[in-house]
Amino acid sequence: MALLLCVAAGIAVQQLTPAPDDTVSALAAVRDLPAGKILDAGDVAVLNIPDGLLPDGSFSHPSAIQGKQLAAALRQGQLLSDSQLLGPGLLAGSPPGSSAVPLRMADPASIQLLSPGQLVNVVISGGNGFDQPATSEVLAAAVPVLWTSAQGGKAGQWLATGEPDGLMVVAADAGQSRRLAGASTQGKLFFVLVAAAPG
């Protein structure tokens, strides 16, 4: 919180003080920005900050974020990095070999219950309960949610065509990714919220 307040203050005084030699350029939000927003140069300010405070995946020029979509809300003064944008940067910190897998839920309204970072079990249900026995199977357990269509904006690279309603993106390992790929064509997909293991 202290760092966030310092960065926010830096936006106001940036042009009043010369930049020390050991600083680097970074982008920070000039106001509170909602998840799903398509960014333009007017949403950010260039700050000079100590090199040791620069997050990995940061940007130094507003043109680098033009047209990018926020995957999570930003507070005024918060530094921007690729992990906060819809795209491969969302996998920052995930285990090596992880993939971002888009999934469409059978109940689009259920997406409203999710936020990035929550863990879910992805369940596929088949059959109709009449001539075909109803079945259910957990395809992936305790996978983290990276993005959901409830955050607003467009689905971007996660869904090239079609409506984004009911869409979520999860981080999955190689085995989970194989089971999840194309799963929505084989049955109805649902999720179950699970608690994170105690640290």
2-85: what fold? Type Iii Antifreeze Protein Isoform Hplc 12 (3.90.1210)
3-state secondary structure 158-181: HCCCCCCCCEEEEEECHHHHHHHC
CA distance 96 to 149: 26
CA distance 28 to 74: 9
Confidence band of 20 (pLDDT split at 50, 70, 90): low
Q: Residue 30 pLDDT more than 90? A: yes
Q: What is the pLDDT of residues 152-194, one digit of tens each?
A: 655 555 544 455 678 899 999 999 999 998 888 888 999 999 9
Confidence label for 17 from pLDDT (cuts 50, 70 and 90) = low
- Please name the residues in contact with 40: beta carbons below 8 A apart, sequence gap of 6 or more: 62, 66, 67
Give pTM, 2 decimals.
0.69
pLDDT in the model for residue 15:
47
> CA 103: distance to chain centroid?
14
Buried b (16+ CB within 10 A) or exposed e, 105-119: beeeeebeebebebb
Q: How far apart are the first and last CA of the chain?
A: 22
